Amino acid sequence: MRILITNDDGYLAPGLAALVAAVQGLGQIEVIAPEQNASGTSNALTLNRPLQVFQAHNVPGLGPGLAGVRFVNGTPSDGVHVALTGLLGYRPDLVLSGINQGANMGDDTLYSGTVAAAMEGYLFGIPAIAFSQVNKGWVELEAAGRVVRSVVQQVMQQVLAAGLSGPPFLLNVNIPNRPDADALPRQVTHLGRRHASEAVIRQTNPRGEPIYWIGPAGDAREAGEGTDFHATANGCVSITPLQVDLTDHAGLPGWRARLAMDGSAGG
């Protein structure tokens, strides 16, 4: 089992070291993470400049025993993309991303670099899992690591072992920041929805010009039973299987009737 590990908080983030420690012994582990915090970069690829990949040395928690620890001066998706398209020279069996500092639930998944990094593996046909702690601050990170190990072991035993040639999957795991996180029930959920983001924060820079900070994410709007928001708010680890197709399948017939041109109208 060869495991590629990445994140979006940067290669020095405690959550990355916690993820690596969590899966020690489960396979050959290689790390390629962004040089800097790239939270909120979604699936962005860097196309307007070349990328460089550097060996990381003496990073706490990323010690010997790993196949390699590298960082890229780009986005999370850059790192996975470069790794899978030539850098590694082999095809990993599993891509893991995280452990992110803060929840990636509902609409967050569209903006998340953590989810996107895992998604990049998934888009290349490799099973992938994104892990996030619900609250920021790295509180109870070791307990989150125990959840990671348990989930990865279950996936390896019950999914991958059953057929490595099966379809790839993309799981999004959100873990409450609790010391007993590994003892919490796990719920398989669907994504909730958030309210629109809070208002932009307008300030004035030292030159007297207006500047803007993107406001915080909105509160949960659809957070009923079965959602990721509901599960984590009620003391469960949330596991959401994701897909990538953004097509409005339910709306297709209506749009075909309104907009499709079959070429027979003439003119």
Residue span binding Mn ion (CB under 5 A) among the ranges 3-11, 65-73, 74-82, 190-198: 3-11
Detail the DSSP E strand segments found in 134-188.
Answer: 170-175, 186-188
CB of 13 to Mn ion, least distance (A): 8
Nearer to Mn ion, 39 or 77 (CB): 39
Q: Looking at residue 183, what DSSP letter applies?
A: G
CB of 62 to Mn ion, least distance (A): 17
Q: Does 182 bind Mn ion (CB under 5 A)?
A: no
Straight-line distance from the first to the last Cα atom of the chain, in angstroms, rounded to the nearest whole number = 61
Q: Does 100 bind Mn ion (CB under 5 A)?
A: yes
Q: Does 140 bind Mn ion (CB under 5 A)?
A: no
Amino acid at position 109, single letter: T
d(CA 236, CA 188): 10
Contact with Mn ion (CB under 5 A): which of 6, 39, 42, 43? 39
Amino acid at position 82, single letter: V
Give the interface size with Mn ion as a residue count (CB under 5 A): 4
Q: Does 108 bind Mn ion (CB under 5 A)?
A: no
Grouping H, G, I as helix, E, B as strand and the rest as coil, residue 211 is strand
Q: What residue is closest to Mn ion based on CB?
A: 39
d(CA 201, CA 133): 26
Q: How far is CA 54 from the centre of its chain?
A: 22
Pair 159, 167: CB distance under 8 Å: no
Residue span binding Mn ion (CB under 5 A) among the ranges 38-46, 89-97, 168-176, 195-203: 38-46
CB of 79 to Mn ion, least distance (A): 14
Nearer to Mn ion, 104 or 227 (CB): 104
Binding site for Mn ion (CB under 5 A): 8-9, 39, 100
